[in-house]
């Protein structure tokens, strides 16, 4: 218990907001993942199916893994809406991408935590994991007591809501696990009701093929005609289910200056993005987590946003 408490203190000192420990073993939700994949709800994310076996047990990521130190970091920002141009000339980039690339930030802190661990316990094995590795991080975060998986399929914390970056440090050390927390969604269905495309077939089940985050970030083909109007001005992700969640709405903001939003990625002007060439797009997104969006896909999403915004103001020809 002392070893576990010391590691938690180190994680908090590294700047993480949440830390908990789970005992390694088989995933409890892999059966649901298999059913989700069998139903085709992963869409074009073939890597999800290809790595399903690895995702079923963290011991496949680190031989001899006995414990997972799960961490969470809030990215909630109170940055106000821009007022120098009308909203119908701007497009939406998801909040998670307003600031610097969280993969690098979390990974560097987890690596430092791993080195602390090794200095205190020479010879121990460990591996730092962010969401690019095949780990069901929301399940393990819930098992470590960081929160619960809500009806939106996001991890929810009573203090910090759902706008959280998650990471894990896997180790072969045996640590004292934390207790999971109970589900506090209650009868609320705000996230399900707010989804513009009806991507939630039922509580706790997301059909990625209808999710705007999937359509703008992962989907490489044309946007289905019936879903395009619901995308509105969104070109990189969607925050509707987070924004309406009561736990998220009351969560504190601006906890991390190092994640402060870059001004050009908050409500950018559609016309300015339309002037970018491929090199300009690489420069615009540099330092952000938007590297998964290739230039042709950006152009496709901008065209959808242009059509939707012009539909809102048919008499206004000013871009």
Distance CA 51, CA 134 (A): 6
Greatest CA separation for the chain: 70
For 53, counting Cβ atoms within 10 Å of its Cβ (0-12 exposed, 13-18 middle, 19+ buried), the class is: exposed
For 183, counting Cβ atoms within 10 Å of its Cβ (0-12 exposed, 13-18 middle, 19+ buried), the class is: middle
How far does Cα 193 stand from its chain's mean position?
Answer: 20
Spatial CB neighbours of 268, under 8 Å, sequence gap ≥ 6: 90, 91, 93
Distance CA 252, CA 164 (A): 12
The answer to whether residues 302 and 228 touch, using CB atoms and an 8 Å cutoff, is no
The pairing of beta strand 92-93 with beta strand 234-236: parallel
What is the chain's alpha carbon radius of gyration, rounded to the nearest angstrom?
A: 20
Residue 131 bears catalytic tag: yes
Distance CA 165, CA 259 (A): 11
Catalytic choice (57, 101, 131, 254): 131
Q: What single string gives the DSSP state of each residue in 52-106?
A: HHHHT-GGGTSTT--EEEEEEEE----PPPP-SS-GGGB-EE-GGGTSS-HHHHH
The answer to whether residues 16 and 72 touch, using CB atoms and an 8 Å cutoff, is yes
Distance CA 214, CA 262 (A): 23
Instruction: Return the bridge partners of 251, or none.
Output: none
Residue numbers annotated as active site: 131
């Amino acid at each position: 218990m002392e070893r576990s408490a010391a590691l938690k203190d180190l994680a908090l000192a590294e700047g993480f907001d949440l830390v908990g420990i789970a005992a390694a073993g088989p995933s409890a939700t892999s059966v649901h993942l298999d059913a989700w994949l069998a139903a085709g709800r992963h869409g074009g994310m073939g890597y999800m199916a290809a790595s399903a076996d690895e995702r079923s047990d963290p011991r496949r990521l680190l031989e001899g893994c006995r414990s997972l130190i799960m961490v969470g970091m809030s990215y909630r920002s109170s940055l106000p809406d821009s007022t120098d141009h009308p909203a119908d000339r701007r497009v939406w980039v998801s909040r998670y991408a307003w600031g610097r690339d969280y993969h690098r930030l979390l990974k560097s802190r987890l690596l430092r935590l791993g080195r602390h661990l090794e200095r205190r316990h020479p010879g121990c094995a460990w591996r730092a994991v962010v969401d690019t590795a095949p780990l069901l991080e929301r399940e393990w975060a819930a098992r470590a007591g960081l929160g619960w998986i809500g009806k939106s399929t996001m991890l929810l914390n009573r203090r910090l809501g759902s706008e959280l970056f998650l990471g894990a440090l896997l180790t072969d050390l045996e640590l004292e696990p934390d207790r999971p927390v109970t589900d506090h969604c209650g009868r609320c269905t705000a996230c399900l009701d707010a989804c513009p495309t009806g991507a939630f077939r039922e509580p706790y089940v997301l059909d990625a093929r209808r999710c705007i985050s999937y359509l703008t970030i992962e989907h490489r083909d044309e946007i289905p005609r019936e879903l395009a109007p619901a995308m509105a001005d969104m070109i990189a992700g969607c925050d509707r289910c987070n924004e309406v969640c009561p736990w998220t709405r009351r969560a504190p903001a601006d906890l991390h200056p190092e994640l402060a939003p870059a001004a050009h990625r908050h409500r950018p002007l559609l016309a300015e993005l339309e002037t970018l060439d491929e090199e300009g797009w690489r420069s615009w997104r540099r330092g952000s987590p938007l590297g998964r969006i290739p230039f042709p896909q950006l152009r496709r999403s901008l065209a959808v946003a242009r059509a939707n915004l012009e539909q809102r103001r048919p008499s206004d020809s000013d871009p």
